[in-house]
Amino acid sequence: MKKVLITGGATGIGKACALLFKEKGYDVYITYNKTEPDFDGVTAIKCDLKNIVDIKKVFYRMGSIDVLVNNAGVSLIKQINDTTESDYDLIHNVNARSYFFCAKEATLRMLEYHSGAIINISSMWGQTGASCEVAYSMSKAAVIGLTKALAQELAPSSITVNCVCPGIIDTRMNACFDKAELEYEVPLGRLGTPDEVAEAVLFLAENSYITSQILGVNGGIV
């Protein structure tokens, strides 16, 4: 049975990924921090992804790994002049730094078998940038850079690295906005669902000839 680790797997896109991979027969591990999962059938590990020691403990507990889904993320809506050093550090420690070190730990194990898949969850704002979300957009652009570079590095070892860039998805992260206004911005006229993003993640996890790709799941915005 293949093992998959999904960071930030208790809610939203991460939860949808966990449930889909479980349905497909994977041995599913997830990390969570403040919000515990409300579903069964997975191994849930409390982890502060800002702490490299915590990250190492997760991978030690798993042993081997076949698929890594770097999904955990935090958002910030502030103009650059209002963004503090602690704001910046939090965004980048969770959204970019943790992806790097999770990918490093996964790579160390995948190289033993010359196989594996890493899927990083970025955002359409990592592709285009967003006003009042400079730090967030910057962190998500870093994820795209990580994907591109690591894909080249690991291709000779038959390990794929890809990125999914969701658009406006119907999750709690967007619950503070007016839904009708958000839908107006989307050419398809509706918000995406976590399940639709999860399907893209599974597709990339199971196709061994796709690597270094940035897949938008955004309803046509980008």
Q: Is residue 164 part of a domain?
A: yes
Regarding beta strands 214-217 and 67-70, do their DSSP bridges make them parallel or antiparallel, or are they unpaired?
A: unpaired
Q: Is residue 154 part of a domain?
A: yes
Instruction: For the full predicted model, state whether its pTM sits above 0.75.
Output: yes
Which distant-in-sequence residues (6+ apart) come within 8 Å of 123 by Cβ?
Answer: 73, 136, 137, 140, 165, 166
In 76-160, which residue ranges form alpha helices assigned H by DSSP? 85-92, 98-110, 124-128, 134-154
Write out the residue range of the structural domain in which residue 166 sits: 3-217
Catalytic-role residue among 60, 99, 136, 209? 136
Query: Is the pLDDT at 2 greater than 80, yes or no?
Result: yes
Distance separating alpha carbons of residues 188 and 184, to the nearest angstrom:
9
pLDDT tens-digit readout, 118-157: 999 999 999 999 999 999 999 999 999 999 999 999 999 9
Phi, psi of 132 (to 5 degrees): 70, 10
Composition of the chain by helix, strand, coil, percent to 5 = 45, 20, 35
Q: Is residue 95 part of a domain?
A: yes
Residue 171: predicted pLDDT: 83
Mean pLDDT of 38-58: 98
Whether 136 is a known active-site residue: answer yes
Total residues belonging to the chain? 222
Q: Is residue 222 part of a domain?
A: no
- How many domains does the chain fold into? 1
Here the CATH number for the domain that contains residue 101 is: 3.40.50.720
